Amino acid sequence: MEAFVRVLELIGTVAFSASGALIAMKKRMDLLGVIVLGVITAVGGGILRDLILGITPPLAFRDPLCVIVATATSVLLFIPWLRHHLMHNQQLFDTVLLVMDSIGLGVFTVMGIWNALAFDPERSTFLLVFVGVLTGVGGGVIRDVLAGNLPFILVKYVYACASLIGALTCALLWRVLPSYAAMLIGMLLVLVIRLLAAHYHWNLPHVDDVE
């Protein structure tokens, strides 16, 4: 199970750091800016989660592997030929950003629940769902604020709702299924909802919709 969780964490780290790096490149940041946004997107939600749970110092500072992987991913995307293809093909850019951000959201939503239960198996369902969503959306919120964008959580295709549904599903299934099964189902549910919402332009009602 530890190996499964580690692999899942690394997949989420690559995905979220890629989304952060892409946003930074779209804002025409330099290499340092790309790395900073890539890293903070990958570990920001986990740091917020650990602070809520009273885990200090946060896990990101105890084990540098995720920071190293996020840095390497950001640098890789900054390679000129790859950067050129991404920045000069809007459809490719949007697709890669959507897929990476959706994978990261799904993975870190369930990783938040895993980490909460690893430190205290008696956590309430409400707390599990809360830290799951916080872990999933936290890094992206910090990324968007640093990039000067309105956070995805407030405007993008049921973003937080997808994380909420996945977190609640994972937390409830944890009681009746093996933990890896609950995590996979919760993660896939987030991913499917995000991709379907983007494809069909599902959104919660906006202010303009009621005028």
d(CA 2, CA 138): 24
What would the pLDDT profile of 136-185 be if each residue is shown by its tens digit? Answer: 999 999 999 999 988 877 776 688 899 999 999 999 999 899 999 999 99
Report yes or no: 182 and 173 within 8 Å, Cβ to Cβ. Answer: yes
d(CA 110, CA 182): 9
Average pLDDT over residues 189-208: 84
d(CA 23, CA 21): 5
What would the pLDDT profile of 9-50 be if each residue is shown by its tens digit? Answer: 999 999 999 999 999 999 999 999 999 999 999 999 999 999
pLDDT, mean over the chain: 91
Q: Could you state, in order of their start, the residue ranges of all structural domains in the chain?
A: 2-210
pLDDT above 90: residue 190: yes
Token pair, residue 12, equals: 């989420």
What would the pLDDT profile of 94-128 be if each residue is shown by its tens digit? Answer: 999 999 999 999 999 999 999 999 888 888 899 99
In this prediction, residue 175 carries a pLDDT of 87
Direct distance between the N- and C-terminal alpha carbons of the chain, in angstroms, rounded to an integer: 51
